Amino acid sequence: MGLFADSQIDGLCEKVCSLLVQAGMKVVCDEMTRLLVAKGCTIAPDGRARIPKELIDEFVDLQKARLAKQRQQARAASTAARKPSQSQALMSCAFSPGPTRYYDYDRKETVPVDTEIFTQMMKFADATPEIARIHPWFRQDIPQEVGGVQNVILGLKLTKRVTGIDAINPKEVKYLVEIGEIVTGRPGDTTYLAGSQCMTPPLILGHRAAQEMLERARCGVKKYYVATMTMVGATAPVDIASAAVLATAEVLGGLITAYVVNPEAVFTGTAATTVLDMASGNNAMNAPESALLDGAVKELFDQRFGGHVSAHVRYAPNAKVPGLQAVYENFFGALASAMLLCSTPAYAGNGNLDIGGVGSPVQAMLDIEVMKSLAKLKDGISLCSEPISFEGLCETIRCGGDFLSSEHTLKHFRSVWSPQLFLRRQLGHDWDGSEKAILDRCNAAWKQNLTHYQPPDWDKEVLRALDDLLQRARKEFGV
């Protein structure tokens, strides 16, 4: 279902363009400002860069052409034969986009991530078969100028499941690309360079985001991912339609800037908005207003601005501790996204708490348990590869027998889903059915997984090259 009628979309998109043309975008970077002016932008008396309608249309036409090509390729790919996946991995990337704090379940407190915690979490992910990849955590006990490079390299030494990291320091971009080249042997590999060029609301391209865009172009990186992280009631109006105009303008303005810097690149974006909770002063992500706003931004891009923008990140419950609230918010995010975007619901919990800032292996095990039960639906109607014969079904019924003691049940009953955390037994001294009992089992489960950890087998030349790279980075940044 659409959030807006066609007539409403026309009016809202006109306002989006007018914001960029008339109000303009504040750009906190002289080099970027010069590039925009060279492309036809003008600087308003208040210093904001006004983006001409011609440049907006040029970028949108490019995105529309690329979208049409992608849809054609997708239709062709859908007809190709696909082999079923045999992977045990259910969680595509644990702890994305990288926590800075850790919830210690035993001590019942949240603490900054240090090297000891980082090491333990990398090992946990490697020893947990349901986790495909893990996002490097952000350690607080190392120099931040080269933190991204250090975190990726240490992560790789602990597990080959490490994924890319944000270049908080834009000058790290070249080193993160080089790490990819060392590990994969592919020139220009960006496996370990992740992150987005987040806009600063309202409608500001901050210095770090601008520098990161420029650095990507200098390093030959041809992918950009612009995010709006506006907050309803604080940096955006409580009026969701007006907030959608502002948030869409932020993403569009950022993408156009990336296009000016690197016109041959791939341009995508996302709406990862929040809402201000007036009762507490905190921001919330998995909330009805943020889901509606994210969906609205995606719809405006899909209908008028060439698509390539996603909605509702769904990885960031507001809960501060593991448990029911985090599961509820993860489910709400999945269902809200599916309802608004007419897509298949996908539970997206990945062990994160507090809008992605806190990581919890206890919550990760709880999220994995939910995913395991949902994964059984993919098996289809038959619970086993050898269904009972029709003759056997008729014979049991005629004889007035039962299926509990049948040979078929005895042979195949283990194929029925049996949860490991949400026990079905009656209450007793060893199981009181409480949330704490479930979380205690999660706490024991992740620690048990950790005992199976085996270090990765890397070629010595790869490890030597990574160490040399880290030394060069430290020398450049003086740390």
What's residue 223's pLDDT?
96
What's residue 420's pLDDT?
82
The rounded distance, in Å, linking the Cα atoms of 258 and 195 is: 14
* Alpha-carbon distances of 478 from 181, 262, 376, 473, 475, rounded to whole Å: 24, 30, 52, 8, 5
The rounded distance, in Å, linking the Cα atoms of 30 and 228 is: 22
What's residue 424's pLDDT?
81
The rounded distance, in Å, linking the Cα atoms of 245 and 8 is: 11
The rounded distance, in Å, linking the Cα atoms of 251 and 422 is: 42
| Domains along the sequence of the chain with CATH | 6-69 (no CATH), 86-378+466-471 (3.20.20.480)
Q: What is the pLDDT of residues 433-479, one digit of tens each?
A: 899 999 999 999 999 999 999 999 999 999 999 999 999 999 999 98
What's residue 14's pLDDT?
96
Beta bridge partners of 223: 266
How far, rounded to the nearest angstrom, does the alpha carbon of residue 91 sit from its chain's CA centroid?
11
- In the 8-state DSSP scheme, what is residue 85? P
What's residue 183's pLDDT?
97
What's residue 438's pLDDT?
94
- 433's enclosing H/E stretch is none
At residue 383, the 3 state secondary structure works out as: coil
The rounded distance, in Å, linking the Cα atoms of 372 and 309 is: 29
- Per-10-residue mean pLDDT for the chain, 479 residues long? 86 97 97 97 96 98 94 76 60 94 98 98 97 96 95 98 95 97 96 93 96 97 96 94 97 98 96 89 86 95 95 83 95 91 89 95 96 85 75 86 84 80 83 92 96 96 98 95
Tokens coding 295: 């969906």
What's residue 407's pLDDT?
83
The rounded distance, in Å, linking the Cα atoms of 449 and 284 is: 32
**Overall size of the chain counted in residues:** 479
